[in-house]
Amino acid sequence: MFNSKRLQKRISELEAELNIFHNMRRDLGAQMIYFTLNCKGMITYSNQNLHQSLGYQANHRQTSSAVL
C-alpha cells in the first residue's frame, strides 16, 4: 500500500489524540453536571451530579419524560 508507514503513523497519532479527548470527557463528566439531549429536547442521559443538584433520587428518574 502507498505510504503505509506514514498512514500508520498518522493513525497512531489520531488514536492518541482521541484517547486524550475521551479521558478529558470522562474526568469532566465526573466533576460537572452532564446530560445529553435527543433531537426532541428530551434528556437521554444524565449523570449523578445533575440528579443531586435537582434533588432527584433514584426512584424519581424517568429518562423518557424529562423535556427541557
Closest to 38 measured CA to CA, from 18, 67, 2: 67
The answer on 37 and 27 residing in a single domain is no
The larger pLDDT score, comparing residue 23 to residue 2, is at: 23
- CA dist 62 and 37 (Å) reads 14
What pLDDT, on the 0 to 100 scale, is given for residue 63?
52
The answer on 66 and 38 residing in a single domain is yes
The answer on 54 and 68 residing in a single domain is yes
Q: Model confidence over 23-59: pLDDT tens digits?
A: 998 898 788 998 899 999 999 988 889 999 988 876 6
| CA quadruple 61, 63, 66, 67: dihedral, nearest 10 | 170
Which residue range is the domain that position 38 belongs to? Answer: 33-68
What pLDDT, on the 0 to 100 scale, is given for residue 64?
47
What pLDDT, on the 0 to 100 scale, is given for residue 68?
47
Set of cell numbers at residue 66: 424529562
Q: Model confidence over 5-16: pLDDT tens digits?
A: 999 999 999 999
Number of folded domains that form the chain: 2
